[in-house]
Structure 1
């Protein structure tokens, strides 16, 4: 058993260090490990596990939410949300920083994509903040970290992936559980922005008339309704989480093509192709990870890890701290989806043994891995932010460090105060 585990671990990390795509690393290391078992039909097992792994009704929501996110990104929603946020908080000292964070939270929530929030919101906000003396590097750091909050505020594809891997976990409960933690992370980042700019000569907008606030809110309402339609339909039983994803596509298309008129018919093939590419990557990851999960279960790795960690300490506080540190390290070199797929089967038995709610652990895991989206060498949001802001990672890291600290503070609160995640689902008996 130990030989197979060593083959799995070393082949996976060797391929990862060779810059092989993560899905291929997972698939090849799984094939090598199964082949080392001896008289086992390797090809059959891998093909069977991959096909059954993606044959899941909840996973059908992912391509639809991806498509609705692309439609939202191209349909002018970011600019309208930014105008609304600017009208509400832009007049305060350092107001553009709060506008940036709030817009990223709103757009990341309605689009379900952190990278889309960085590119869409950053394209508007980073040049404007630089023009008003915030500094380009600070603006990129703020946009990059703020965008990750959209993965906690529903709808969120990564929560669907976690629900499928964890099993018997309600997607609706996860969606509701992420609302308060997402807002908490955003507020922590805003506090850092306030402290960073309280003595700086940054631009302050004039007081916005009530009529402008009302008008900007009216223009933003159709975009904000996406969250209410999706969550309202799920919670009232009108449609399931999977059906909600199809509704979100129809609504996003109506907004972008008919109301805002920024999505043209000639854009549809390009949008569909972009969505298909993203979906294909996710599905390959899911399939390959399900095959790896079979190997882990066959070798009883989750049980071994659970016994080892509980052997180190029976204290839930210490165990959660160890898991958080491990996930923070994992997040620096592995993207969020494969990390959830690989480490959920390993860590979930540990925390459930301690009596932790799987919904709470799901939010903890997503919050933790959101930090990894902003860290090199794999930080997707960091690379997108540096590209949009035309700067380098080395220059962005320094202003980003206090924001990392704020996100870790929020992570610790989410980890050790379960009601931040579980209170809202409990109100709806989920």
Structure 2
């Protein structure tokens, strides 16, 4: 033991130590690109002030050290309570570039960063490099590394002006063209809306930061269907917000030069500079449960049983889940439900988003096949929750059936689904 302590003392600069007494563990640092460095982890609060939260150190031969996340309000699995992580700490997982915008960032920056163009194939070291160099405006409230924080500080001193309302639609047309030019070919055909981030001037908004999805402009049946779905998403978010205990992302629609734009206010941003933390259900499952399941209520029940989700959050998740099923949302994966950590080390449900009847999305080739919508029925213990969600779903289908921004053919389908739910509600 004395020899071990002597060796540890001689190599103190390359050793990380956590835990006390019998829980004490040691690990060797690992260089990233030949540099023996660790990264400070900063957090921007809701007022726009930066705070030091932790330090992240890569370890040999894999994994990392990052103590202090529990003190910042994040639920921490037992094996990580002393600061040890098998890979990167899970609160960083949703920060990595992903989706349409993430792939745009990767394609634009990968050569300068010295990493691959496909962010889905990045290693943990690739993610560290990307987050620490260009990660000043990612999902949630964390910023990793001094270089990324310096970018944010510079931006905070001279923030760009939000675009004024009178010319906003024309501005969105320009941003859409830019997004398509630098974006990922075929994304919308493959079932993903192209999108861009923007700043817009809206006096009653909580923040100028928005995410904007948009349709094509050629008037084809495929493009019309995507436009119909964007209108439906706006209506569905409004109706989801009527569910007890559910808040929904604030959205609005604009149309210009043949395109439909869905503007969604970012709920991880507050005012100009403020931010709030955010984590997806999929990331929570991988880090805390490891179930690999996709059923929102089932995963929420497991999180609650483990003490990571407050009991009063379960019923709203169940209502939102049934609402999605009753509006034909066939894409309710675990990346489409998110949470905010609270000081009590429990999770708070974040506003609903990406809620729309994806059953009717065009196929990758653009075809619009006939679809059969079969609304699911509840088991007896689920009946009250089902009826609550069904009332909101009926409201959604009825409003969609009247909305002139939706094509006549799809409005007729919406009317039929409203009638179907009416009949079911009388029998269930």
The normalised TM-score by structure 2 is 0.25
Structure of higher CA gyration radius: 2
Flag the structure with higher strand content: 2
The normalised TM-score by structure 1 is 0.25
Flag the structure with higher helix content: 1
Structure number with the bigger relative contact order (C-alpha 8 A, sep ≥ 6) is 1
